[in-house]
Amino acid sequence: MTLRHFLADDDLTPEEQSKILDLAVALKADPTARRPFDGRTVAVIFDKSSTRTRISFEVGVTELGGHPMIIDGSSSQMGRGESISDTAHVLGRNVAAVVWRTMGQERVEEMAANAGVPVVNALTDEYHPCQILADLQTIREHKGATQGLTFTYVGDAANNMGNSYALGMVLAGMHVRLAGPEGYLPDPEIVARAERLAASTGGSIDVTTDVRAATEGSDVVVTDTWVSMGMAYEGRETVFMPYQVNHELMSLADPEAIVLHCLPAYRGKEITAEVLDGPQSRIWDEAENRRHAQKAVLTFLADAADISSDR
Ligand code: CP
Ligand code: NVA
């Protein structure tokens, strides 16, 4: 038995990531083929708002044979100051896995260090690794493979999506270009980690303020809100408007390029309605694939921990 967690994209090897995506495809074709949580409960805790993550985990855990226990973090005793480690011990005595959307990455790390069951990051300020698996599944569906493709992320390249794309897409062998305004580019530590991964996957990472150069000939063009949960809106529109994904920017990408957005989207801000709702957009497949990809990662973690024998 190996206790594994999924807290950041590079918690997986390239081979493991690929295996999970294969399983996600199989589970999309046959949603109840695997039931690793039969008779067990998975805690799904939200300290921030959610539509897709909540829906996909609640339905997904049910399809895996388990009971999803959705918890509003602010209504738990953690909201009144009970420690993460005490909460983790109690969760670990009762549930088969913990899925948590919260603020700082150190919070999910503390949960993982103390729960004794697999912990999945359902978005922190620093990473959103479940979203990246869904995006990869979508790219595989529409492009056949990920290896060697050019992937461009435009906008707030210092946020959780920027970090996770840098790591997760390089892990999948893609040439990743992150374009954002000065002051909104990823931490050098993230870039260094992506560069180390690139050496073994054949991918690459480039960071730039030049949005046009970053989009030129790209196979996948992606953006995210300019104002992530917990951030202040003030002044951001002026800084980010040159990084809007619109028809003119898309004319620079490969003619067969697809467009992704993790959602929620703000039409007329980070992306125009004509692109988001246009023929190159694959956002509804992407949103659906959250469920399949997360079921695959939960199954991978359950198999590693051998939870079916842990009754
Ligand atoms: N993409 C995503 O995580 O959506 P929610 O915030 O609605 O869960
Ligand atoms: N960067 C966004 C992603 C939402 C799914 C946020 O953190 O709010």
Closest C-alpha residue for ligand 2 atom 1: 228
pLDDT at 234: 85
pTM: 0.98
Residue-wise pLDDT for 184-220, tens only, equals 999 999 999 999 999 999 999 999 999 999 999 999 9
Band (309; pLDDT cuts 50, 70, 90): low
The residue whose C-alpha atom lies closest to atom 8 belonging to ligand 2 is: 228
CATH number at residue 77: 3.40.50.1370
Q: Which of 4, 5, 40, 101 is catalytic?
A: 101
Distance 38 CA to ligand 2 centre (A): 31
Query: Is the model's pLDDT at 310 over the cut of 70?
Result: no
Rg (CA), the chain: 19
The ligand 2 atom at the shortest distance from the C-alpha of residue 230 is 8
Same domain, 195 and 109: no
287-307 confidence digits (pLDDT tens) = 999 999 999 999 999 999 998
CA distances to 163, 190, 206 from 178, in Å: 10, 12, 6
Ligand nearest to the CA of 286: 1
Q: What is the pLDDT of residues 92-127, one digit of tens each?
A: 999 999 999 999 999 999 999 999 999 999 999 999
**183 half-sphere exposure, CB direction, 13 A CA radius:** 4
pLDDT confidence bin for 225, thresholds 50/70/90: very high
Q: How much is the pLDDT for 233? A: 82
The answer to whether residue 224 is catalytic is yes
277 pLDDT higher than 90: yes
- For residues 162 and 230, give the distance between their C-alpha atoms in angstroms, rounded to a whole number: 16
Domain count along the chain: 2
Comparing C-alpha atoms, which of 64, 78, 113 is closest to residue 92?
Answer: 113
Report, as an integer, the average pLDDT of 32-60.
98
Compute the distance between CA of residue 76 and CA of residue 84 in angstroms, rounded to an integer. 11
CA 21 to chain centroid: 13
Residue 105 among the catalytic residues = no
Please check whether residue 51 lies inside any domain of the structure. yes
Q: 86 and 17 in one domain?
A: yes
> Is residue 137 domain-shared with residue 103, that is, in the same domain?
no
Judge whether 262 counts as a catalytic residue.
yes
Are residue 91 and residue 167 in the same domain, yes or no? no
Q: Which ligand is nearest to the CA of 231?
A: 2
Alpha-carbon distance of 133 to 286, in angstroms, equals 10
pLDDT of 135 strictly over 80: yes
Token digits of residue 213: 């150069």
Res. 311: pLDDT tops 60: no
Domain shared by 74 and 164, yes or no? no
Alpha helices for the chain (secondary structure H): 14-29, 52-63, 84-92, 105-115, 129-143, 160-171, 188-201, 211-215, 236-240, 247-250, 273-276, 283-305
Domain range for 246 is 130-287
Binding-site sequence positions for L-ornithine: 160, 224, 228-229
